[in-house]
Structure 1
Amino acid sequence: MGWKRLAAVAVVSGLALLTVPATATAVGVKGIGHNASGLQPNATPGSEWHGSYVWQDKHVWCVQYALPAPDSNVGYKEGDALRTKAGKDLAPDIAANISYLLLRYSTTKSAEEAAALAHLLHSWTSAPDGAVRLDTTDPKFLAYDAAFYAARLPQPVLDAVARLKADAEANRGPWALSATAPKEPLVIGTESTWTVSLLKADKKGVTNAPIDFTLTDAKLADGSTSGKATTGPDGSPATIKLVATGPKPSIAAVADSPADRPVVHFPIQTENMQRMVTTGGEKKLKAAAAGQAKTAPGAVKITKIDSETKRAIAGVALRVTTKDQTSAAKKQDDTDLVGTDGKPLVLQTGPDGTVEVPDLRTPQEICLVEVAAPKGYEEFFDPKAPPAACGTLAAGQTLALELVNKPNKPVVPSTIPAGADGRTPVATASFDTQLRPGVMLGVGGLVLLGAALAGFLVWRRQ
């Protein structure tokens, strides 16, 4: 349904509906609508007009047909809830129908819709009831003969009557406005979809309804912080795509709704003037929704290398901690990054000497601490002050770190390299176990000589 801001008043009967005032200074000008082909018996001339009047530059609907038109020079003030010509409260469904039609059609440009609105307002507020009769000659108590005028209005008006009545019964209030934040986590600087629903009494959505909204800690794609959304042609919720700019994005929505009951006003304070109902068929509905937004998650990637060869070192155990190198780092969902033992998570470098930790809360200072020395690097590893690399994570960024290990000192070889010609000759000791005769005689002579000297020394001592 098309929607426009309500900017008119509809004049209807109230507790007391009197005869034409003799002091009226001006007669309202007919607006848009249709004349019936005949005048109801005992009705004031001019009552065959079904449509709007121009009153103070506004289109109004006067359902008190005892008067030819509302006084165009007289203002009004707020009064009581609209009642029937017999002085009774309107039935809740009738009051809701009137409020809805005033909200939806009071600014119509269609002559058929204007006439249909006048006919329905007369039918619902001035039906025969007790002293309000069709056979009276007193306009104060003359009922509206709906059947008489239905037979004398053009067929397009009657078609509009059926359509407006069905529209009112299907879409009348009370309405309820609600706003909903996305269920998924909100990230600052990232677009998310929020919804605003406008539901009728039957819990079905109001179709094509405009809804104004303002944003806090958020903006639209064009940078604005306010706008208008519209519910779907099937009554589906209006969707609003916004970008969080702070930690507490929120939306405040406002929509027009039919009032529970239309409100009566008095054009002037005399006993001889009709009552009227204004755009009091409208009321404002408000709704709000809020969420919590975080900065985009970050990641850290560390590379473990040999200080001398610059080659990657695989299989190195690293503990992921905060700045104090003891506490667990925080994940994007604000939980601790721990292993199955409940302690800060320990990871190992892969074949390329790297390990990456994603989905970390930002901003946050991260440290990767070596748990134990890899083989070949034990000599320079101090378990009381293990090697560590630290840095600060930025939103949506990957922090690159490097951790260097110094290899053990080289061990002196058992062979001594020699030469510089590209080959490596080795000097070794030579051992020969073959027994040659000359060698054997020499050795025997030495043994005999030794024995003789030993005997001589013993003889001298004795």
Structure 2
Amino acid sequence: MTRRHLATAVRLALVALLGTLSLVVVAPAASAAVEEGIGHKTTPGQSWGGRDRAYDWLGSYVVNGEHVFCVSFALKAPDSGERYKPGDELLTKWGEPLPDDVAANISYLLLRYGDTTDADEAAALAHLLHSWTAAPRSPADLDPAKPFTEIGYDVDAHFAKLPKAAQDAVERLRADAEANRGPWTATVTAPEGEQFFDTPAQWSVAVTNAEGKGIPGVEVTLTLSDLVPAEGATESTDADDVTDTPVRNDTETAATEDVDKAGATGETEEAEETEETTAAGEAENAEDRGTSVESEPVEVTVVTGEDGTAHIDATPTGQQPGIVAALQAPAERPYVRDPVTADTQRVVSTGGEQTLTAEAFTSAVPAPGLIRVTKVDSDTGEGIAGVPLRLTGEDKTSPAVDANGEPLVDANGEPLVVTTEGADGVVTVENVRTPQTVCVIEVRPPNGYGDAFDPDDPPSACGEVRPGETLELRIANVPDEVPRTIPAGSQTATVSHAATNSGAPVSALAALGALAVAVSALTGWVARKRFLRQR
């Protein structure tokens, strides 16, 4: 009997254990819960389907770690694991196309505020989305007896239930969209005039709307080729006024992800700084050599100022410097993501954007140089003015080249002839292409320097003109030798050339002779006069 009871007890225990295990195995997994993100509750909620609602949620939902906004009012809120697929163009709840201005407003607000962490802005964005996509067509659309598929969004009632700060945000976001919505246009402007390897110049990028108004606070990525940023290169016009409204393009908001992002940003900035420093060093070396240097493209991020413009100073490192700008702009019309599960709200996030690009390129050459030629007396070192000199290339035949690549020639196409001037005997030639080797050749000797002049091998000087530098050239002339004696037939007497002479001048002797004749004549006349009186 005891054994029978024991066996029965064991069987009952086994049955209970198997039942417990079966419950564990077949119990369905708990469904993911709806996760409200950032925003505000409005209480009480809007009634529909013949039932009162405790509250409505105006804000974002977190779906698969991403903050999204619903655009199908009153349909089932998505849970945190809801699956979505790419959908079509956003329409109203009634299946009608959105007006162009409304579609542009939505695209702009999704771009600017789609990942906001401000509860008032999130609530304002949700309210505006429902106001534009589910506004009642008539009072009948607000009948609380209507089902969720037919009920309209009570715009005024929901606005009245929002906190004052959220109400202010509604008006602010609406005005922002009206003023800055797309379509946007991006332009890059290269500096005017020819660019030089060693001279920074200012480039600019502008973002404007359809009316030509500048869009502030737009983050623009610039890719520089044959360019490196100058020190303190980036500048936004009135950038301090737009720091509160940066372009938002990352929808992740978890605190740990923000920390990771901050770390990654720091690493990226360090890498960019290293690249820029390396590129700047290569550019500096290139300037010293007067040649271009091939460098990897450099990326720089700028933010437009209040006038929609940002500037960057950059130094050319190659012959074709240019900038390509890329930015996220509001799309012409927003697109939705459709739920896999029926009767769940369609959603939008930061999908209202498109990538805009613009570019500008120019040419660059090494900085021009200057040639300064001095013509001097080889004995005294004093300058000699009025000496014509021919400017040529290294071969002493072809003309030198100016900074624009044009040959330096005269009206006849011959190498340019310049003439020394002033007491120093100097002539200067500016705006010369660098690097190049030039020569100056004496065309004819100055007076008093012809004896040593060889027309087949005239005096000359050559040197290399380097970027931004002055090439100093000096040509000395040997003066003619002054004869110390003057031959006079077979006579051996000499006449010494000195600053003073010891003999009486011929002119003085002639004058004395004339005077003697005059005195003699006067004496004779006086004597004759006396003789006649005595008679």
| Smaller-chain TM-score bracket | 0.7 to 0.9
CA contact (8 A) 2:73 2:134 kept: no
| 1:329 equivalenced with 2:400 (yes/no) | yes
Identify the range of structure 1 (376-385 vs 194-203) with the bigger mean alpha-carbon deviation: 376-385
CA contact (8 A) 1:417 1:425 kept: no
CA contact (8 A) 1:214 1:253 kept: yes
Aligned to 2:288: none
Aligned to 1:274: 345
Could you tell me which of 176, 199, 204 is aligned with 2:208? 199
| 1:253 equivalenced with 2:344 (yes/no) | no
Aligned to 2:384: 313
- Are residues 372 and 394 of structure 1, via their aligned partners in 2, closer, same or farther at CA, if it must alter by over 3 Å? same
- Are residues 417 and 424 of structure 1, via their aligned partners in 2, closer, same or farther at CA, if it must alter by over 3 Å? farther
| 1:367 equivalenced with 2:439 (yes/no) | yes
Aligned to 1:182: 191
CA contact (8 A) 1:250 1:288 kept: yes
CA contact (8 A) 1:174 1:258 kept: yes
Q: Distance in 1 between matches of 2:133 and 2:54?
A: 19
Query: Which one has the bigger helix percentage?
Result: 2
TM superposition shift of 1:68: 5.0
Which SS does the other structure have where 2:149 is aligned? helix
- Are residues 47 and 102 of structure 1, via their aligned partners in 2, closer, same or farther at CA, if it must alter by over 3 Å? farther
- Are residues 35 and 145 of structure 1, via their aligned partners in 2, closer, same or farther at CA, if it must alter by over 3 Å? same
Q: Deviations over 1:204-235 (max 9, x none)?
A: 11012111112111111353522211111x22
Structure 2 residue identity aligned to 1:151:
A
- Are residues 193 and 46 of structure 1, via their aligned partners in 2, closer, same or farther at CA, if it must alter by over 3 Å? farther
| 1:134 equivalenced with 2:212 (yes/no) | no
TM superposition shift of 1:425: 8.5
Q: Distance in 1 between matches of 2:156 and 2:385?
A: 95
Aligned to 2:20: none
Aligned to 2:48: 42
Aligned to 1:111: 119
CA contact (8 A) 1:215 1:249 kept: yes
- Are residues 46 and 108 of structure 1, via their aligned partners in 2, closer, same or farther at CA, if it must alter by over 3 Å? farther
CA contact (8 A) 1:267 1:273 kept: yes
Q: Distance in 1 between matches of 2:121 and 2:309?
A: 28
Which SS does the other structure have where 2:175 is aligned? helix
Q: Deviations over 1:148-206 (max 9, x none)?
A: 22232233222211111111111111111111110022110221110011111111110
Q: Percent identity?
A: 44
Under a length normalisation based on structure 1, what TM-score does the superposition of the two structures give?
Answer: 0.80
Could you tell me which of 470, 482, 497 is aligned with 1:398? 470
| 1:63 equivalenced with 2:141 (yes/no) | no
Which runs of structure 2 are paired with 1:435-454 in the superposition (5 Å)? none
Q: Distance in 2 between matches of 1:64 and 1:273?
A: 8
| Long gaps (5+) in structure 1 | 1-22, 427-462
Could you tell me which of 291, 297, 301 is aligned with 1:228? 301
CA contact (8 A) 1:317 1:349 kept: yes
CA contact (8 A) 1:29 1:55 kept: yes
Aligned to 1:443: none
CA contact (8 A) 1:46 1:68 kept: no
Q: Deviations over 1:37-83 (max 9, x none)?
A: 33223167366221222222222222333245212112322121111
Q: Distance in 1 between matches of 2:164 and 2:138?
A: 31
Q: Tell me how large the CA RMSD over aligned residues is.
A: 2.7
TM superposition shift of 1:246: 1.4
Identify the range of structure 1 (117-126 vs 138-147) with the bigger mean alpha-carbon deviation: 138-147
CA contact (8 A) 1:86 1:129 kept: no
Q: Deviations over 1:132-160 (max 9, x none)?
A: 82225221111111122223223322221
TM superposition shift of 1:384: 4.2
- Are residues 58 and 271 of structure 1, via their aligned partners in 2, closer, same or farther at CA, if it must alter by over 3 Å? closer
Q: Distance in 2 between matches of 1:153 and 1:314?
A: 90
Aligned to 2:5: none
Runs of at least 4 residues of structure 1 off by over 6 A? 423-426
Q: Distance in 2 between matches of 1:124 and 1:298?
A: 65
Identify the range of structure 1 (272-281 vs 206-215) with the bigger mean alpha-carbon deviation: 272-281
